[in-house]
């Protein structure tokens, strides 16, 4: 009988992993720990700026975080219009470039447009984003408002603070949270990875982007959403009605968020305007009596907010007469013609505001 073949290198490696001595096991644990510490020390804002953590074409918060870090080091030389909001506002725009051109056609100055928008972005997340935006004197910040933005219960705001979707520190948001009985986001000094573990844990596999390159996040994402079926339409109508109801219960907290946002903007020497998020008008006609009443109450609250802050409130979806057929669902415009009209009305409002600037 011939002697057995010697084990392959792979077999010896596996055997070493599964049949280790105490010292070998301790050594492996130490190497693993040192590797983890090395990763924790190496991950930071510069990693975000590289774009490598972007998971796929719709990883909006990772993309926004990277852009904010890059802009802090290399903001445009011209004044900047910072438009911060949810996907509803972004989808209604043709593009940042076309908004820039439309502002000039409307008689406005040459400037740059930065759209800081992500799906479901709440005002507290907008505050964190603007904490990192290199806002300067002469800039204009346009903050999206809507009943949805005033509807989130404090318990869910706390969840956003505990597990931020935007992995950036926000001193203004920290102060706001502490002043309103909420826990500021807990950080581990010197470790971005341990400060935002949930964000980074979901992106372990993006190390392959070192070789493959990271995907590019698209500006328009709504065209990838299938049209709702009848059951889904009923759910979306109920969602919009629920925003109005919860807004009447939770608006106070978020009104204070907008006040903190306004302080951040004016302290930087910039100006602020509020912009209503687009909503499908056909959905609004189907809210029912209670839903319509609550929505109207919340809209009055938004108008009072604009008056208190002494800032303009724009409603470009109404000015552009967006039609239900131009939306894919309750909130997202997909028709190119609708986007062109919406962009034109936003640009006209910007140009007029800047022309009146003292």
The string of pLDDT tens digits covering residues 115-140 is 999 999 999 999 999 999 999 999 99
Among 29-33, 211-215, 304-308, top mean pLDDT goes to 304-308
Q: In angstroms, rounded to a whole number, what is the distance separating the alpha carbons of residues 196 and 167?
A: 6
Average pLDDT for residues 329-356, to the nearest whole number?
Answer: 96
Q: Label residues 252-273 b or e (16+ Cβ within 10 Å = b).
A: ebbbebbebbbebbeebebbbb
pLDDT band at 27 (very low <50, low <70, confident <90, very high): very low
Beta pairing, strands 140-145 & 112-117: unpaired
Burial of 33 (0-12, 13-18, 19+ CB in 10 A): exposed
Q: Is the pLDDT reported for residue 33 higher than 50? A: no
Angle at 147 between CA 149 and CA 123, to 5 degrees: 15
pLDDT of the residue at 5: 53
Is pLDDT larger for residue 5 or for residue 158?
Answer: 158
Among 47-56, 181-190, 266-275, top mean pLDDT goes to 266-275
Domain limits of the chain? 41-355
* Domain 41-355: top CATH class: alpha beta
Average pLDDT for residues 309-322, to the nearest whole number?
Answer: 97
Alpha-carbon dihedral of residues 304, 310, 312, 313, nearest 10 degrees?
-20
Q: Is the pLDDT reported for residue 202 higher than 80? A: yes
pLDDT band at 15 (very low <50, low <70, confident <90, very high): very low
pLDDT of the residue at 40: 47
Burial of 142 (0-12, 13-18, 19+ CB in 10 A): buried
pLDDT of the residue at 7: 53
């Amino acid at each position: 009988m011939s002697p057995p073949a010697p084990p392959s290198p792979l077999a010896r490696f596996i055997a070493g992993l599964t049949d280790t001595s105490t010292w070998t096991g301790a050594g492996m644990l130490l190497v693993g720990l040192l590797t983890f510490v090395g990763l924790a020390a190496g991950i930071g804002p510069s990693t975000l700026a590289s774009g490598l953590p972007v998971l796929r074409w719709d990883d909006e918060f990772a993309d926004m975080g990277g852009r904010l870090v890059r802009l802090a080091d290399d903001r445009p030389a011209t004044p900047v219009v910072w438009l911060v909001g949810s996907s509803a506002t972004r989808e209604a725009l043709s593009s940042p470039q076309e908004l820039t051109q439309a502002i000039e056609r409307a008689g406005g100055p040459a400037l740059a447009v930065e759209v800081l928008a992500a799906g479901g972005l709440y005002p507290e997340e907008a505050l964190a984003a603007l904490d990192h935006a290199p806002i300067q004197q002469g800039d204009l910040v346009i903050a999206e408002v809507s009943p949805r933005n005033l509807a989130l219960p404090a318990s869910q705001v706390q969840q956003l603070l505990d597990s931020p979707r935007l992995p950036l520190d926000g001193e203004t948001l920290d102060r706001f949270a502490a002043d309103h009985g909420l826990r500021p986001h807990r950080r581990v000094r010197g470790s971005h990875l341990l400060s935002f573990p949930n964000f980074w844990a979901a992106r372990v596999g993006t190390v392959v982007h070192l070789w493959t390159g990271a995907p590019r996040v698209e500006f328009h994402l709504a065209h990838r959403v299938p049209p709702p079926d009848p059951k889904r339409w009923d759910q979306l109508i109920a969602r919009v009605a629920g925003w109005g109801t919860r807004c009447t219960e939770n608006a106070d907290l978020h009104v204070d968020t907008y006040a903190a946002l306004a302080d951040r903007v004016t302290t930087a020497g910039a100006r602020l305007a509020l912009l209503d998020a687009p909503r499908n008008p056909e959905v609004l006609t189907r809210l029912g009596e209670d839903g319509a009443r609550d929505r109207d109450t919340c809209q009055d609250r938004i108008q009072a907010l604009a008056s208190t802050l002494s800032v303009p409130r724009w409603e470009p979806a109404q000015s552009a007469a967006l039609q239900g057929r131009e939306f894919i669902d309750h909130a997202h415009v997909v028709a190119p013609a609708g986007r062109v009209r919406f962009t034109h009305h936003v640009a006209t409002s910007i140009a007029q505001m800047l022309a009146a600037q003292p």
